[in-house]
Amino acid sequence: MKVLVTGGAGFIGSHLVDRLVQEGHEVVVVDNLSTGKRRNLNRSARFYKLDIQSARLARVFRNERPSLVMHLAAQMDVRRSVEDPVFDAQVNILGMLNLLEQAVRHGTRKVVFSSSGGAIYGEQEHFPAPESHATQPLSPYGISKLSGEQYLAYYQRVSGIQFVSLRYANVYGPRQDPEGEAGVVAIFIQKLLSGEQPIINGNGRQTRDFVFVDDVVEANLAVMGKEVQGTYNVGTSQETSVNDLFVILKDLTTSGCKEVHGPAKQGEQVRSVIDAAKLRQELGWEPRVSLQEGLSRTVEFFRGQG
């Protein structure tokens, strides 16, 4: 199958491209390299350095005519979305609309969209949150991801294009950018390995559902089938506090850093954990990499970068 992956030079996207190539698919990557890295690109994939907002995206679809689009390109920094909601909307809403217009015009059969389990639900009322949980995003980023899901449903109704929205929990793993994407795992590991002092926001009791990038890739592969449509959570259904995460990473890095707390970040969710039972029951997917193993593999990756 010919698959177009937007954001295919990024953290999650590059792992997905590698796996698609391994499975024998013909892969096309679109990435503007604003946060993605050229070194992450798979040599077997055809690469277009391009922004998803660009009018030149039409040429890519005209030349390649992918049957499946996996859309991971995004403005994914919650704090930046708060500081600049217009930029967030330009990338995450207008960029996606450009992509969907081209997909429909050029006969793409299906779009798999990388959405957000944490940001879309907001402060949860149920733990873990199922797909039916109320969507009450607290940030422009969450609003733009929810808008993306709703546009997909609209295009499905009017054009018949199939779609899947995957609501990711907190994804971590090798290649995560400790600078650009603001993932707490990557930030802590980089600081602990370099002897810098990580700062825990607030009391550190805020919890997250940490899911390893390889498990997220397998979820994407699981929903590629023709008959699969709808919205699925992708997480572990397990809560881990930032304090507990720090203790595990301190041990794995053998760092002498102490546990230091700073001011709480305004608007940060207190608890975030999602229920992936639907994906497990319907498609047999489940997270296979434990937090301890995933963090260990991620630390070893960052060690190798030093």
Active site amino acids: 141
3 state DSSP class of 78: helix
CA-wise closest residue to 207 among 146, 155, 274: 274
Q: Are 275 and 237 in contact (CB under 8 A)?
A: yes
Classify 106 as helix, strand or coil.
coil
The H-or-E segment that residue 189 falls in is helix 184-194
- The residue assigned the tokens 């907002």 is 53
The Cα–Cα gap between 301 and 75 comes to 25
In whole angstroms, give the CA distance from residue 8 to residue 70. Answer: 9
Dihedral sign from CA coordinates of 250, 252, 254, 255: negative
- Tokens representing 41 are 């690109």
What are the φ/ψ torsions at residue 35 (nearest 5 degrees)?
-125, -25
